[in-house]
Amino acid sequence: MSRIGKKPVSIPEGVTVTLSANVVTVAGPKGTLEFAHRREAKVAVAENTVLVTRVGETKKSQALWGTTTKLIANMIVGVTAGFQKQLELNGVGFRMSVNGKKIVLALGFSHPVELTLPEGLDAKIEGNILTISGTDKQKVGEYTAIVRKLKPVEPYKGKGFRYVGEVVRRKEGKKNAA
């Protein structure tokens, strides 16, 4: 039994959840999100709660039960509060700036790297911290991972992108032979 799947998801004030066939639409103050769930999970809306039940006793339905519940809960949080991830850029000469819907990064390559922000995401820079925010948790996490992959933190000097609060184990450099 899924402990997450059993729990109903509460719908706060100002959020509407509608169902049509297998598409769940959540609308709130920050926007609208849609999710097409699989047939192994059945979604029902009653008053101020969303309840997900499984169809059948297959392993697939058991696996998708809790996942569907958590995805709907994340959609509700996204349209009310939103999600954000923060990246910290360390390194001498590394710079970043936001120009409209583009992030321009100087990461020690022969050219500046320009990344276009997807629809529904915002970026802001404060010092050496890049904050990516939006309503869709998956988009925020995926885009942050794409940016981090450009220059991941290296273990010798700690240069590159790291998540705020991430601990990177530092390695000792080469020693001179005596």
Q: Give me the pLDDT at residue 74, please.
A: 94
Q: Give me the pLDDT at residue 62, please.
A: 85
Q: Give me the pLDDT at residue 1, please.
A: 60
Q: Are residues 32 and 9 in the same domain?
A: yes
As a whole-number percent, the residues of the chain with pLDDT over 70 amount to 98
Q: Are residues 88 and 156 in the same domain?
A: yes
Cβ 77 vs Cβ 33: under 8 Å: no
Q: Are residues 76 and 18 in the same domain?
A: yes
For the chain, the domain total comes to 2
Out of 58, 80, 102, a domain closes at 80
Q: Are residues 111 and 140 in the same domain?
A: yes
Q: Give me the pLDDT at residue 178, please.
A: 62
Tell me the average pLDDT of the chain. Answer: 91
Confidence class of residue 2 from pLDDT cuts 50, 70 and 90? low
- Is 36's pLDDT higher than 90? yes
Out of 52, 80, 108, a domain closes at 80
Out of 50, 80, 110, a domain closes at 80
In order of 22, 48, 77, 118, 171, the CA distances from 112 in angstroms are: 44, 49, 35, 19, 29
- Rounded to an integer, the average pLDDT of 24-47 is 91
Q: Are residues 87 and 75 in the same domain?
A: no
Asked whether residue 37 is assigned to any structural domain, the reply reads: yes
- Rounded to an integer, the average pLDDT of 114-141 is 94
Q: Any idea what the CATH number is for the domain that residue 28 is in?
A: 3.90.930.12
Q: Give me the pLDDT at residue 55, please.
A: 87
Range of the domain at 74: 3-80
Q: Give me the pLDDT at residue 34, please.
A: 93
Cβ 80 vs Cβ 12: under 8 Å: yes
As a whole-number percent, the residues of the chain with pLDDT over 90 amount to 67
Residue found by looking up tokens 């590394």 in the block: 94
23-28 and 31-36 as β-strands: parallel, antiparallel, unpaired?
antiparallel
Nearest CA among 154, 109, 104 for reference residue 130: 104
Q: Are residues 39 and 60 in the same domain?
A: yes
Sign of CA dihedral 22, 145, 84, 130: negative
Q: Are residues 45 and 87 in the same domain?
A: no
Tens of pLDDT, residues 148-157: 999 999 999 9
Predicted TM-score of the model (pTM): 0.87
Asked whether residue 175 is assigned to any structural domain, the reply reads: no
Q: Are residues 50 and 103 in the same domain?
A: no
- Rounded to an integer, the average pLDDT of 12-32 is 92
Asked whether residue 170 is assigned to any structural domain, the reply reads: no
Asked whether residue 38 is assigned to any structural domain, the reply reads: yes
Confidence class of residue 56 from pLDDT cuts 50, 70 and 90? confident
Backbone angles phi, psi at 98, to 5 degrees: -110, 125
Confidence class of residue 175 from pLDDT cuts 50, 70 and 90? confident
